[in-house]
Amino acid sequence: GNSVTQMEGPVTLSEEAFLTINCTYTATGYPSLFWYVQYPGEGLQLLLKATKADDKGSNKGFEATYRKETTSFHLEKGSVQVSDSAVYFCALLRAAGNKLTFGGGTRVLVKP
């Protein structure tokens, strides 16, 4: 079946540090890949996505590249801000599917 594995948190960083959150997946076929972000007290919201191999999704300074050969979709940001403190979820959607499979979430705390 489909599954998503992401690094456990919490990840604690100083402002302007480089952030990487690892995400690997198992799926049949060619899924679409997503990163969702959950700010404190809110629901999840889409951060970025990639629909095919070698695609790069980007938004708000975050980037992730769909790597089929390593079945990975790692999230990166070059210089984090305190406002990036949140929980980040990696997810996949199998082709022709309607149900996202989420990873366990990674809590990120950015200190000033």
Q: Which segment (18-26, 45-53, 57-65, 78-86) binds other proteins by CB under 8 A?
A: 45-53
* Smallest separation, CB 83 to other proteins (Å): 18
Chain centroid to Cα 61, Å, comes to 13
Tokens standing for residue 14: 């100083």
Instruction: Give the DSSP H or E segment for 44.
Output: strand 44-50
Rule CB under 8 A: is residue 102 a binding residue for other proteins? yes
Distance CA(105)–CA(72), nearest Å, equals 15
Of 29 and 112, nearer to other proteins (C-beta) is 29
Rule CB under 8 A: is residue 10 a binding residue for other proteins? no
Tokens standing for residue 61: 């300074």
Residues between 51 and 80 with contacts to other proteins, criterion CB under 8 A: 51
